[in-house]
Structure 1
């Protein structure tokens, strides 16, 4: 099981290393990584410069929906909910 977890975290690292931003929601849905902050912390220890900012749930859901189907409940305020987005600063 450890090898599988390593592979999932590796996929999230490759996503970041490719210059693509990612939120915890995307990490869970796309890669099965529930603790994105561990991945980010490890990459920072390895010397990567990882930046962060807040983005709306709606923005993250739009990116997810390019690869999967994510539909928020009708009463969820998706434009008001903020998620932390991480990306590699080159």
Structure 2
């Protein structure tokens, strides 16, 4: 198991707030107030951050299902610029 040196590398909260500071300088004065609150609220939680939101995923499933006719997975994949495996994953998910 590889251990990271936590002394020198910023944690997720620091990275998120650094991004917020860069993108939204107008909230910079609230950062020092918000960081401890966020740390307290979410401390001890291991989390996975999806690349896409659940809403985006649900929209993709709806789009795939609206185009899929039972035999055109390759065409749907090409049209939506996704893989055939993703098309089949969407079909499987919508069947649940």
Q: Under a length normalisation based on structure 1, what TM-score does the superposition of the two structures give?
A: 0.33
Structure number with the higher helix fraction is: 2
Structure with the greater alpha carbon radius of gyration: 2
Structure number with the higher strand fraction is: 1
Q: Under a length normalisation based on structure 2, what TM-score does the superposition of the two structures give?
A: 0.32
Taking CA–CA contacts closer than 8 Å with sequence separation of 6 or more, which of the two structures ends up with the larger relative contact order?
Answer: 1
